[in-house]
A and B are shown apart, each in its own frame.
Chain A
């Protein structure tokens, strides 16, 4: 079919967008590309994107974007089918790449959670854990962030269309603060910050707004979480504060999970400090 503002004389690569447990924010990032959306729709065929279109073209697809984490048996089966139907699978956002905020259930009894929110937990199909897509199927690229940066999303799409590696830095938020000329919030006004262990991509947003980074892009490559946690304690944070800080939108990412577990263990040994 040929509809939309695009050339009709060439076969365009097909794009699918799927959603699992999530807030919709990362796929909304595609629609938030107000200046580029129609241009994107001119070079890819949007083949299956329920939030934007009733039209669904049959698989296979060239590139599939997946938002959201796997939290039900139905979804665990659905992601396997989606993997079969696409050449390239890209996961977008903290839910799809790390389990999301809903992975806080992984430390709790989900039956207790169900009873707290729902009168009839027996109506629900829900797993004990919220896990990233890569725990279930092979993933070609993981784009971090809660939410993702729409500019990074555009870079990833263009890179895959051009057959090159996406230029997504894996250094820390600190680098972005330095590039922006921000005074360090830890050094200059004693505000605890996760920037030293968090992957860049937000353009050092929180420090620019006079607050500490809360880690929404997840761990950078090779983060020294233990050292940063010690520094937070020097600044007066408790182990409980550290558990809360590491257990947020990327709680189930390995580096943050390990550090939060370590701090929880020291609460159990030493009492709450």
Chain B
């Protein structure tokens, strides 16, 4: 007699957007694993055509309410690449600063409200607050520190209005930035405490062979600039992206799946950044990582929560450094002339590499747009992880099995709103 189990989660919780999971196991053999995205398509690339190039940072921000800065940064860098413009000095530093704010806000949200409840067995951060109110309050305050950076430099936390091609509309004064220092000093201690707190969780065993991909910059932990490198030898400039990566449309998903040409699945996000840029973290980050048992390379995706906490600490330290060294720029943005051409931009969204490409007409309007969000790039890897976690945990009853599978999806902090141009969880056991 066959023994078939089907587990399905029709609407995944604690992820951004609408996705589902389905797995089917027959006689302890995995028959089917599917992570799909049913969030309806919004067609950003299509309606960007014909719009002024200056609209790109405002419009593409609306792809994602959790990481609008990532979209704004990749888009302005792509435009500047097309026009041969370089933004440096204090304006470049302000861009790193606002990105620090987004990482802190997004990572704190994910660590405390979306992911920690899985490790501690709560349905939500709100449920967790009943027993661990001080922990949740610490997380919310940390999140608020990130938001206060984005709010000051960007104008508001969600869909900031101050980022433009060439720089900003208005730059903050030194005094305005210095007002952030006391909370950032608190946040530094809170981020250290967060690393120690999450490293005390119990982690399912997992050691998978990934090809990690992230930006890499000679002098700094990557946000906006660098080369695209991988743990298996890729090393390319941002404009070469399409020569090495390809997107495919599969029926079960409204998100395109990315793969490395002739190789397949790859992994972007905090683990990839950390593994490929460990030596660029501060001494404090590296020592703390060692103290909590992380090596220079982490391959257990469940430990991404610790890496997110280390990155949060880095972002707090980097924000403090930038504010300390800040000199108000003479102009809020640099002048440029829009010309016909093609530009490429890539930056490190909290969830991983975000690539934009635009072709611009001679009148400065967008002729063609391509946007590859991190969650599309992780989609195949998420399915591979599901298969492996399923193999490890077939002895669990359905409800526990479903939870650990959901948790493994949340390791990636998937953003489905982003990937749809993307997610649906069912475990079937026949």
Give residues in A with beta carbon < 8 Å to B. 3-5, 19-26, 28-29, 31-32, 34-35, 37-38, 41, 46, 50-55, 71-72, 74-75, 100-102, 104-105, 108, 110, 112-114, 116-120, 123-126, 130, 146-147, 202, 205-206, 208-211, 214, 216, 244, 248-249
* Nearest CB of B to A205, in Å: 5
Does B25 lie at the interface of the complex (its beta carbon under 8 Å from any beta carbon of A)?
no
Does B85 lie at the interface of the complex (its beta carbon under 8 Å from any beta carbon of A)?
no
Per-residue interface assignment for chain B, residues 45 to 83, with 1 indicating a CB less than 8 Å from any chain A CB and 0 otherwise: 111010110010011001111101000000000000000
Assess whether B158 is in contact with A71, with CB atoms less than 8 Å apart: no
Inter-chain CA distance A102–B213, complex, in Å, is: 31
Closest A residue to B133 by beta carbon equals A5
Assess whether A71 is in contact with B123, with CB atoms less than 8 Å apart: no
* Nearest CB of A to B260, in Å: 18
Show 10 A/B contacts (Cβ-Cβ < 8 Å), sorted by A.
Answer: A4-B129, A21-B42, A34-B144, A71-B40, A105-B43, A110-B43, A205-B156, A206-B155, A208-B155, A209-B155
Specify which chain A residues have a CB less than 8 angstroms from the CB of B65 in the assembled complex: 22-26, 28, 147
Specify which chain B residues have a CB less than 8 angstroms from the CB of A54 in the assembled complex: 13-14, 123-124, 406
Assess whether B62 is in contact with A5, with CB atoms less than 8 Å apart: no
Specify which chain A residues have a CB less than 8 angstroms from the CB of B140 in the assembled complex: 34-35, 37-38
Specify which chain A residues have a CB less than 8 angstroms from the CB of B11 in the assembled complex: 50
Q: Which of B222-230, B249-257, B269-277, B303-311 contacts A (4 or more CB under 8 A)?
A: B249-257
Inter-chain CA distance A116–B47, complex, in Å, is: 10
Give residues in B with beta carbon < 8 Å to A. 11-18, 39-47, 49, 51-52, 55, 58-59, 62-66, 68, 109, 113-114, 123-127, 129-130, 133, 136-137, 140-141, 143-144, 147, 155-159, 161-162, 164, 169-170, 248-251, 254, 256, 332, 406, 415, 417, 421
Inter-chain CA distance A206–B156, complex, in Å, is: 10
Inter-chain CA distance A146–B417, complex, in Å, is: 15
Assess whether A248 is in contact with B64, with CB atoms less than 8 Å apart: no
| Interchain Cβ contacts within 8 Å, total number | 195
Asked, given contacts A147-B65, A209-B161, A248-B59, whether A38 binds B137 with beta carbons under 8 Å apart, the answer is: yes
Specify which chain B residues have a CB less than 8 angstroms from the CB of A104 in the assembled complex: 47
Assess whether A25 is in contact with B47, with CB atoms less than 8 Å apart: no
Inter-chain CA distance A187–B415, complex, in Å, is: 42
Inter-chain CA distance A23–B55, complex, in Å, is: 17
Closest B residue to A115 by beta carbon equals B46
Inter-chain CA distance A206–B39, complex, in Å, is: 31
* Nearest CB of B to A30, in Å: 11
Asked, given contacts A101-B59, A210-B332, whether A4 binds B130 with beta carbons under 8 Å apart, the answer is: yes
Of the residues B40, B156, B417, contact of A72 by C-beta under 8 Å: B40
* Nearest CB of B to A73, in Å: 10
Assess whether B158 is in contact with A55, with CB atoms less than 8 Å apart: no
